[in-house]
Amino acid sequence: MGPLLLVLLLALILFGAGFALKALWWIAVIVLIVWLIGFFVRPAASGGRRGRWYRW
């Protein structure tokens, strides 16, 4: 009974970690797309002058 519970617990932990990593990948892709859109749209919307939409 003990080894079965250990295997089930390990499977649950690995499934949770895999789901979290997949969700983080999707969030990273969405942030990259938003950043690229802002990078290309902002200079055109600022009347031709070089404007930055971020503060680095």
Would residue 28 count as lying in a domain?
Answer: yes
Please tell me whether the overall predicted TM-score, pTM, comes out greater than 0.75 for this model: no
pLDDT tens sequence across 45-54 = 555 555 555 5
Residue span of the structural domain in which 16 resides: 1-45
Would residue 32 count as lying in a domain?
Answer: yes
pLDDT tens sequence across 3-44 = 888 888 888 888 888 888 888 889 999 999 988 888 777 655
Q: How many structural domains does the chain have?
A: 1
1 burial class (0-12, 13-18, 19+ CB within 10 angstroms)?
A: exposed
